[in-house]
């Protein structure tokens, strides 16, 4: 326990892992509770289904973007159909909750001022979902159901998003600390 108090690296790693697991499995459990079947809770599904709200947001906004750039698209609860192109289905693993859990856990665990953490977390989480929207638009327009795909788009997106997150966190961590105006270098 003293290593946790005296070693900031150990403290960071332990807090990061605990927060990541908490966020990640909270989302998994909530998904199970708000999805009909199994341990479904109508109360939670009606009042606290933030995952369904995120799915709805991603599907509706992606469809609006696709229509705005000149294609004809329609959607239902979890699918987007682009006329003449095909259909994509937005499932749980498309929502970016694992990536968001990783990012939020890292930002919260890292020893920086609270205000800075809040700003970086809000900008980062919004950016993750904006990149997710771009992915859905691109997939809906260019992914053809009839073609064989050698590479999974989830894998490509995850590699891309973790590179973006790693670079963002690197520059956030390496940001020079502000010195008072009268301090000498």
Residues 101-158: pLDDT tens digits?
999 999 999 999 999 999 999 999 999 999 999 999 999 998 765 555 556 778 888 8
**Does 181 reside within a domain?**
no
The mean predicted confidence, pLDDT, of the chain is 90
**Does 17 reside within a domain?**
yes
DSSP 38: T
Domain total in the chain = 1
**Does 13 reside within a domain?**
yes
**Does 123 reside within a domain?**
yes
**Does 178 reside within a domain?**
no
**Does 15 reside within a domain?**
yes
What 3-state DSSP class applies to 23?
helix
What 3-state DSSP class applies to 168?
helix
Whole domain around residue 108: which residue ranges? Answer: 2-173
Residues 67-100: pLDDT tens digits?
999 999 999 999 999 999 889 999 999 999 999 9
Q: Are the beta carbons of 80 and 73 closer than 8 angstroms? A: yes
For 75, list phi and psi in degrees, rounded to 5: -145, 160
pLDDT above 70 for 3 = no
**Does 119 reside within a domain?**
yes
Distance CA 124, CA 172 (A): 11
pLDDT above 60 for 177 = no
pTM for this predicted structure: 0.87
Question: Helices 97-109 and 114-142 meet at what angle, rounded to 10?
Answer: 160
**Does 179 reside within a domain?**
no
């Amino acid at each position: 326990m003293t290593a946790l108090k005296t070693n900031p690296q150990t403290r960071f790693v332990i807090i990061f892992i605990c927060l990541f697991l908490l966020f990640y499995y909270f989302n998994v459990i909530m998904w199970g509770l708000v999805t009909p079947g199994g341990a479904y809770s109508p109360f939670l599904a009606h009042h606290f289904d933030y995952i369904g709200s995120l799915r709805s947001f991603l599907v509706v906004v992606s469809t609006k973007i696709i229509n705005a750039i000149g294609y004809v698209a329609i959607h239902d609860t979890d699918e987007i159909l682009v006329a003449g192109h095909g259909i994509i289905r937005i499932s749980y693993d498309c929502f970016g909750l694992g990536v968001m859990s990783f990012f939020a856990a890292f930002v919260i665990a890292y020893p920086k001022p609270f205000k800075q953490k809040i700003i970086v977390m809000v900008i980062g989480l919004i950016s993750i979902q904006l990149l997710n929207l771009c992915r859905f638009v691109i997939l809906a327009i260019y992914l053809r159901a009839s073609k064989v795909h050698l590479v999974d788009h989830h894998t490509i997106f995850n590699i891309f998003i973790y590179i973006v997150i790693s670079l963002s966190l690197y520059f956030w961590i390496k940001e020079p600390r502000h010195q008072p105006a009268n301090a000498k270098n």
